[in-house]
Amino acid sequence: MMTNACYAVIFISRLRADAEGYAETARRMMDLVREQPGFLGMESWRDETGRGVTISWWESEEAIARWRQHPRHRQAMRRGREEWYESFRVQICRVEREGCGS
Amino acid sequence: MMTNACYAVIFISRLRADAEGYAETARRMMDLVREQPGFLGMESWRDETGRGVTISWWESEEAIARWRQHPRHRQAMRRGREEWYESFRVQICRVEREGCGS
């Protein structure tokens, strides 16, 4: 647990039934994100209907912005928008109370 | 979607295997929270291991504080701490980017 402020990214999505290639890319992105400066932790859930959430924690908004600009992440996001997600939403949040990390 | 600032409460928990009475109370709390002033929406997930997350969205920190003080909610939280949850953490977050609600 850190006591400093941190940021949480809430990513809520609904996968298409035919999201071919999604699982492999998701695994690769999980490995890649752990190497990013300012990354603090991540937790994910997905139910049997395809509705899922990933919460990731970051030291700063700058760290979040850098990850959004990472070429391999950008490519994965593009495939997500075009091929895998029926819908999604992203919220960037400042954690006001309690600790950060996972 | 609202364009004003809002707050998200991220509640991550692990249920005990023998969380008797939890499901019924959780249903009652879901009904009750929807009636609270300033409540904007909620989404929940729980996996087969008992690890779960509930994200709720609120108009203000005051609305969150009022819900934390609600007598029936306080009673449910006490049972949660004492009987149902192996562990839990709560983060109160200010949504900086993107919309609120669910």
Query: Quick check: A99 and B90 CB within 8 A?
Result: no
Q: How far is CA B12 from the centre of its chain?
A: 9
Given this model, what pLDDT does residue A102 score? 46
Four-CA torsion A51, A66, B58, B5, nearest 10 degrees: -130
Pairing outcome for strands A51-58 and A6-15 = antiparallel
Task: Please give the structure tokens belonging to residue B23.
Answer: 């499901």
User: What does the pLDDT average to over B4-19?
Assistant: 92
Instruction: Tell me which chain A residues have a C-beta less than 8 angstroms from the C-beta of B61.
Output: 96
Instruction: Tell me which chain A residues have a C-beta less than 8 angstroms from the C-beta of B5.
Output: none
Would you kindly state where each structural domain of chain B is located, as residue ranges?
6-95
Given this model, what pLDDT does residue A100 score? 56
DSSP string computed for chain B: -B-S-EEEEEEEEEE-TT-TTHHHHHHHHHHHHTTSTTEEEEEEEE-TTSEEEEEEEES-HHHHHHHHH-HHHHHHHHHIIIIIEEEEEEEEEEEEES-B--
Question: In this model, does residue B100 exceed pLDDT 60?
Answer: no
Could you report the per-residue pLDDT of A62-75, keeping only the tens digit for each?
A: 999 999 999 999 99
Residue A18: strand, helix, or coil: coil
The CATH fold of domain A6-95 = Alpha-Beta Plaits (3.30.70)
Given this model, what pLDDT does residue B5 score? 82
Given this model, what pLDDT does residue A64 score? 96
- What band does B51 get if pLDDT is binned at 50, 70 and 90? very high
Contact B4, B100 (CB under 8 A): yes
Given this model, what pLDDT does residue A97 score? 75
User: What residues pair up with A97 in beta bridges, in sequence order?
Assistant: B92
Query: Quick check: B96 and A98 CB within 8 A?
Result: no
Could you report the per-residue pLDDT of A20-62, keeping only the tens digit for each?
A: 999 999 999 999 999 999 999 999 999 999 999 999 999 999 9
